Amino acid sequence: MLSSLAALGGCASYPELDPRAEPPADYTYIIGPGDSLEMFVWGNPEITRTVTVRPDGKISAPLVEELPATGKTPYQLARDIEKELSRYIRNPLVTVIVSNFVGPYSEQIRVVGEAANPQAIPYREHMTLLDLMIAVGGITEFAAGNRATIVRRINGEQRQFRVRLDDLLKDGDISANVDLLPGDILIIPEAFF
């Protein structure tokens, strides 16, 4: 996949990404594997605890075994836990608080290629390209920053847009700072010498 993404990143001329992407109007955090969740059960401190979402997307806790958590909002998961606990506790009241954010890959922003530290970063509301570059430590000396592209899913279709990393990072051109959306993939190709 990395080689096909890298090939996409350097072969064609793509339209430049609009600097002001329309953020999701009702964006709500979606739980993913690796998230740390505080499961607070009102009036039942012996069941209240912090759990981690396993790689298979499920959680386990006292009286709650093998409950799917991935893809749900904290509110939805709290209602599912209440349903499970209602077999043992009368009218349980549960609050789920996410304390370590990872999120599912579909919501993360991934950086591949000539970043100083390529990685997947959890999406944060109003995140910009500059925020992302700070998180990954910038680009390497071998990067072709102005040939970088963002792969974005729009209406179920993957589209690719050019971004200007060199202009943003080396020249301080703030007009090259674009808004990011959940699931964006930044591809930074290597420069040809």
One domain for residues 51 and 73:
yes
Distance CA 112, CA 109 (A): 10
Q: Are residues 47 and 82 in the same domain?
A: yes
The answer to whether residue 193 sits within a structural domain is: no
Structural domain contains residue 18: yes
Q: What stretches of 94-135 adopt beta strand conformation (E)?
A: 94-100, 109-113, 120-121
Q: What is the pLDDT of residue 107?
A: 87
What range defines the domain where residue 80 resides?
36-100
Q: Could you tell me the pTM of the whole model? A: 0.74
- Of 100, 126, 146, which marks where a domain is finished? 100
Same domain as 162, residue 129: yes
For 118-169, write each residue's pLDDT tens digit.
999 998 888 999 999 999 999 999 999 999 999 998 888 899 999 999 999 9
Residue 133 sits in a domain of what CATH number?
3.10.560.10
Cα of first residue to Cα of last residue in the chain, in angstroms, is 25
Within 8 A by CB and 6+ apart from 135, the residues are: 119, 121
Q: Are residues 118 and 87 in the same domain?
A: no
3 state SS of 134? helix
Task: Give the model confidence (pLDDT) of 17-68 as tens digits.
Answer: 765 666 666 778 899 999 999 999 999 999 999 999 999 999 999 999 899 9
